Chains A and B, each alone.
Chain A
Amino acid sequence: MRERVRADLEEVFRAHYPRVVGVAARVLGSRDQAEDVAQEVFLDFGRSSVPAAEAGGWLSVAAAHTALNLLRSGRRRTAREDAVGRQQPAEVPDVADAVVSREEHGRVRAALARLPRKQAVALVLRHSGLSYDEVAAALDLSVGSVGTTVRRAESALRKEMVRDASSD
């Protein structure tokens, strides 16, 4: 059987793995889940013909989308479990965040899931260390609109957090 894995996979993997995990971890708040997402994203990349020069942006965007998708499927489960009267799912974040309480952790995930997808991805990419130019290239935005998109995401995130907190 032919296993068509691109020859530059290891080089790209070593260069980008920590950042890709970082992107997914910011969405999921769980490093274990983030590493699973990163594995999937690199497997996909290994089978792709994405130019190596665009790998960083492609991988980061794919990680953000995949992680946001997981968040959404997790939220659906949570809703269903709550509906049948179970306790909150015991998903303990393994990202060290002494500041972020568990309740807040849940609110952040919920708020991220409710953001418009492009805003959520831009927010996570910028907070993962991608420059404005890199975010623009990765999301096919003008550089000028990256700031606007991130700003709106942050504003919406804060409002969602406040709204969630007050409705608890």
Chain B
Amino acid sequence: MRHPTEGVLRRLVDEPVGVPDADRAHVAGCATCLAGLDAARADARAAAAVLPAPDVPVDVDAAWMRLRSAAPAGRTAAPARRRWAPALRGPAAAALGAVVVLSGAGVAAANDWLPIFRTEQVQPVELSEGDLVALPDLSDFGDLEVTGDEEPTSVPDAAAAEERTGLAVPEAGDLPTGVTGDPEYLVVDPLRAVFTFSAEEAAQAADAAGEELPAPPPGLDGSRVQLSAGPAVAAVWRQPSGIPVFAVGRAVAPTAESDGVPFETVRDYLLSLPSLPDDVADQLREFSADARTLPLPVPEGMVTSSTADVDGVPATVLQSRDGVVAGVVWVEDGVLTAVAGAVSADEVLAVARGLR
């Protein structure tokens, strides 16, 4: 009979039950095949020696808690909090983060009650993960109604994206090495969230936390804040596995209006709530002097931020501390643009400065 293939010999090394009896019988009596089997075994051993498993068992419980904090499983009821900051934690996540940020909804929802300013600048605020968890969920303080769908929709090309959103899709010039192929174009339609403050619900939430609710300022009870975000467009380059590796996109920056008391009053009152850590409150207060800044929470210790210049506009550069992912975000004329991916900060800046 003919000699079995090298693939059959390979399988004999570590899964012999999968090899037909006839092949096994042949190999046992064939010097050529036995030599091939020895060679396959040697190469397999060499590969196994250099591809070691993790040395200690992984902590599945801790890992699950980490995932839950990034993607709150089971919280399927709307409205729920949603933040994009945790998405920046892992490698390859900057592109994801950018897509979420570009969805507009990401910015609005990620910051919940923070983006109550017309956005002119992006300013990172360092929050620890504990602080993120401790941020009060707006739904504890009243009603939050969201209209629109934050889920991005795929469209055939840049022209279709522009037609649907009215936003020109930024066209990247030279892409970083390793980013190839045609991008997928995603759009997000405009979104609106209306938060109605309820003194009764806020008092209940404070009570549950064993705190006393500070007296709301006059007129705050029942006053509404309307948050608008989007539309947004993004071009996303993916790997065959579907994981985004690079994204360029643009969104109408979030704005907010109130129909009762001024924004500043709402913000300052929320800042005064006992459940807000002092240091975070202090950081947030810094923004009150400049009502045109969008605080962008980033996980403390995971991401470094710096500033750069993109064609004369100040931009915020975020880079994971391991240097694996980077993104750059800036706002001009009420439009937020971001470039991010599993590339270096130099590379995202080069693409940002070369956008057409």
Contacts and interface: CB of A to CB of B under 8 A. Distances in A.
Interface residues of A, number: 77
Given A1-B146, A62-B241, A35 B58 contact: yes
Interface in B50-71: 50-58, 60, 63-64, 66-67, 70-71
B51 A18 contact: no
Nearest to A142: B7
Interface string B319-356: 00011100000000000000000111000000000000
A39 B7 contact: no
A104 B47 CA distance: 12
Contact of A132 (B11, B54, B342): B11
Interface string A140-168: 00011111111111110110010000000
Interface of B: prevailing SS: loop
Contact of A44 (B9, B57, B243, B324): B243
Nearest to A37: B91
A37 B92 contact: yes
Contacts of A83: none
A131 B15 CA distance: 8
B243 A124 contact: no
A76 interface: yes
Contacts of A46: 67, 71, 73
Nearest to B5: A148
A18 B57 contact: yes
A-B pairs, 4 with minimum CB distance: A147-B7, A96-B55, A148-B7, A65-B241
Interface of B: 5-11, 14-15, 18, 40, 43-44, 46-58, 60, 63-64, 66-67, 70-76, 78-82, 87, 89-93, 96, 105, 109, 146, 150-151, 177-178, 239-243, 245, 322-324, 342-344
Interface of A: 1-5, 7, 9-10, 13-14, 17-18, 21-22, 25-26, 29, 31, 33-44, 46-48, 61-62, 65-66, 69-70, 72-74, 76-77, 80, 95-97, 99-100, 104, 108, 117, 123-124, 126-128, 131-133, 143-155, 157-158, 161
Given A5-B74, A117-B240, 15 more contacts: A5-B71, A18-B60, A31-B58, A47-B71, A69-B243, A73-B178, A76-B177, A77-B344, A95-B54, A96-B55, A100-B50, A124-B51, A147-B6, A154-B44, A157-B50
